[in-house]
Structure 1
Amino acid sequence: MASLASVLGLFVLILSIFIATSAGNFYQDFGITWGDGRAKILNNGELLTLSLDKASGSGFQSNNEYLFGKIDMQLKLVPGNSAGTVTAYYLSSKGSNWDEIDFEFLGNLSGDPYILHTNVFSQGKGNREQQFYLWFDPTADFHTYSILWNPQRIVFSVDGTPIREFKNKESMGVPFPKNQPMRIYSSLWNADDWATRGGLVKTDWSQAPFTASYRNFNANACVWSSGSSSCSSNSASSSASGNNAWLSEELDSTSQQRLQWVQKNYMIYNYCSDTKRFPQGLPTECNMS
């Protein structure tokens, strides 16, 4: 029979591991930036909710800035008639030539699907929208929305399934976000001038307040502070050892197949197919495999 001391030692070890893995929470990682009390951190920092009513929406941002990372967040979107509302979850830098990586969830009439809107800005240039329906009800439960951002590519994923990849094509003259650290932002706001059927369906304020919920944030990322990155200069060796494997992560054949499945069955808009929007020719990255 194990001694009492060894049992206690094992318990302390397990407890310390648990504390290490659960230390990150919304109190520690984020700050509420606007909303006059409509954003709330609950359950000892394990849950964050944003609310929108006719007077105001609400939002938060990360305390840290990141220069590359693998970011996960679980969201449960506004249920019922969410027409006119937008829940935005994105990375962004500051300044007139900002970089940005966007998830935006466009609300809809009860029973109709949400539209998941994605975009990538580099040096202030966007117009790279792709839009999708989801293969589940995003209001019924939490689902994981992830951004992989490394020097080679940006990958948007939902519950581990990639839905979009934006590759670094700087060699072809296409700007890529790689020099500006970005914070994580999220907001819930009224956009009924465009969000639902181009603004035809307005927000039904009798359904307010509208609420979106967040949990299980995780950032395996390079934190930017005082002009330097937390990722060591020998990141190649640490990447090879697996500590920062995401820095060189790419889609394997299975992930490529899942990406193609989503784009074939659930993509509803792709800027790379919109010749009306780009009559002078599609953007350079659209003409590359």
Structure 2
Amino acid sequence: MDFHHVTVLLEETVDAVVTNPSGRYVDCTLGGAGHSSMILGRLGSSGKLIGFDQDDQAIRHAQELFGQDERITLVNRNFESLEETLKELDLLPVDGILFDLGVSSPQLDEAERGFSYMQDAPLDMRMDPSRSLNAREIVNSWSEEELAKVIWNYGEEKWSKRIAQFIVRARNEQPLETTGDLVQVIKAAVPSAVRRSGPHPAKRTFQAIRIAVNDELGVLDRVLDQALRCLDHGGRIGVITFHSLEDRIVKERMKSWLGRCTCPPELPICRCEAKAMAKVLTRKPILPSEEEVEQNPRSRSAKLRVAEKI
């Protein structure tokens, strides 16, 4: 498979994160290797890049692309193991870490991966094919209450309860096996007036189930403090998010690194001993240009936030 992916906020991210040509950098979301290619282009002969991806297709694509380049080390793991892996490789501390969250274009476009509501395929949605939990299991075995909660919390879908109710009703007759089966159920659940306007009726539910399958928000929540610990002083972390749930986690975590006092206002002196660990370099997130959105509509919702360890 041709692992082609249009990289979002490419120059903006690399400009913000890569400050030292002989430094060590980590691309936690290798994907189609767009960011990694540009980072390597900025590094001198003594620079080092570590590329993580839990998808072995992305790793194979990068092996072909970078060949014998000794500056890059490829790691076929979820970036949740960031700190542990860098310790194993004896590559701590590093000068910059990049996260480009969400699903890559090849995963969306390859029908059999089951990510897309536009193509009929087995219900899967695993970014790491070795994981046991897949979309089929969630849709066919989780309770109506659990489904409604996931679709609301992770998809911000206002018809979540009705969609969950319709899923359970449909699977009681026969299991939902394919993305097409699920799309039909969602279309039946969402009122026709709503279907006629706005995005595809299945978009939010598919996002929610994908996030649940891959524990995307949990992994993000657990990795951000790790990433800060892995940085050298003056090192930078850049995170590209694609929906408000991810962005909220990143924004709040970066805010927590500023070391603002959390004591109750009635206390005469600070007892929490809050200490600043980083400064946030993006008061407002960096967004893609109109030109980029025109060329790559999938970039429309992207936001880049950057922090520097102090």
Could you tell me the TM-score, scaled by structure 1's length?
Answer: 0.24
Query: Relative contact order, CA 8 A, sep 6+: which one is greater?
Result: 1
Q: Hey, which of these two has a bigger chunk of strand by percent?
A: 1
More helix by percentage:
2
